[in-house]
Amino acid sequence: MSSIHEECGVFGIFNRNREHDAAQETYLALYALQHRGQVSCGIAVRNDQTVDCITEPGTVPDVFNKDKLAALTANGKGDVALGHVRYSAQGEEDEINSQPMVMSYEKGSISIANNGALVSTAKLRQKLESNGSVFQTNSNAEMIVHLIARYRLNTQNIETAISQAMRELEGAYSFILMTPHKLIAVRDPKGFRPLCYGKLGDSYVIASESCAIQSIGGEFIRDIKPGEILIITNEAVYSNTDNCGQKSAMCIFEHVYLARPDSVIDGASVHRSRLNAGKFLAIEHPVEADVVAGVPDSGIDAAIGYANQSGIPFGLGLIKNRYIGRTFIQTTQKQRERSVQIKLNPLGNEIAGKESCLLTIQLSEALPAQSLSKSSGMQAQRKFI
């Protein structure tokens, strides 16, 4: 299951009266969402009917410097801005799929930043092509816009077109649209991926995770509901809930792996979820140990939960190298084996000195906090369960 590769981060701001520098706020918010994707990033800014957009491979600090942020402000501080950080599956590192995507259709410009992975797209694409659509990428984002553009030909407003288009989309999607007058947040009916909104002064912001809103000094309002279309205009904020009501299928990986611990998703603190995973593990699988440690990063929170519940002191067991990037080179089999050691170095002598028994907790896909290993002086490290 490759769903873990579908993660991205999205952000949007409706910059009322241009009170902020929209590109700058988006840039700062993308920093807070960087953990959701390091392959490419981009920012699109609309000033009246002009849209400027920069997308490039690399992390936020790789791509954006003073000059590029200035270029995005050349036409004004921005009525609306859109940002995206992208994780990519193998073989999709091409620049052409970078987002936000800026397009134009009958009603003017339309830009999209999406997080998700549609299923059964071949049939939908074929249907669009048989009506004359021409595609330039394989991305879901492009197909979503084409579909909305088709429905828009016969609807009164874009939210109705989106609502109708959603009935043809299967799978996970949380996207933000920037149109000539609106900023729109859309979350799939099962709510696979997170999306929330908040306030920043008199302006509104939309983000994949609440930590992005908090980090720029904004105020979290609430999650976008599964199936909801939230429309922000200069006069109002309102919702279309035609597609709401399905049972949520929020991806467990968000809480286990992906989201930042300081985010709140669908009403639950990610940090609290991980603490609880550790707590329940301590109740279900009590072990005797001198220290309980976590595999960074998400295992740390769970280990604290286990420690608090069990009374075993929490300690550091593995030091994560913060500088190992995607360019880490492993030329031989030996080096591949060694790479784990480069990334995670055990605090060996600390444990060894105490002849202590270390309990290590790692959060994983199959079951949160399922993996425990116990070591005595680092000599013997074995699976507990």
- List, by residue number, the catalytic residues: 8
Kindly indicate which of the ranges 3-11, 240-248, 317-325, 356-364 contains the residues binding a second copy, using the contact rule CB under 8 A. Answer: 317-325
234 or 341, CB closer to a second copy? 341
Which of residues 136 and 157 has its CB atom nearest to a second copy in the complex?
Answer: 136
* Residue number with CB closer to a second copy (35 or 255): 35
CA distance 60 to 39: 10
Q: How many residues sit in the footprint of a second copy (CB under 8 A)? A: 82
Contacts to a second copy from residues 147-206, by CB under 8 A: 149-150, 153
Site for a second copy in 204-243 (CB under 8 A): 211, 214-217
6-43 b/e with 16+ CB inside 10 Å = b? bbbbbbbbbbbeeebbbbbbbbbbbbbbbbbbbbbbbb
Torsion over CA of 147, 153, 154 and 155, rounded to 10 degrees?
A: 80
Residue choice 17, 49, 50, 104 for contact with a second copy (CB under 8 A): 104
Mutual angle of helices 140-152 and 158-166, in 10-degree steps = 120
Residue (269 or 376) nearer to a second copy, CB: 269
Tracing tokens 């989201």 back to the chain, one arrives at 259
Query: Is 325 an interacting residue with respect to a second copy (CB under 8 A)?
Result: yes
Provide the 3-class DSSP secondary structure of residue 254. helix
Distances, alpha carbon 179 to alpha carbons 25, 32, 104, 233, in Å = 19, 25, 9, 10
Both tokens assigned to 379 = 């000599």
Residues 112-131 within binding reach of a second copy (CB under 8 A): 126, 129-131
Site for a second copy in 56-95 (CB under 8 A): 59-61, 64-66, 69
Site string for a second copy, 266-305 (x = CB under 8 A): ---x-xx---------------------------xx--x-
Task: Using CB under 8 A, pick the residue from 345, 355, 365, 381 that binds a second copy.
Answer: 345
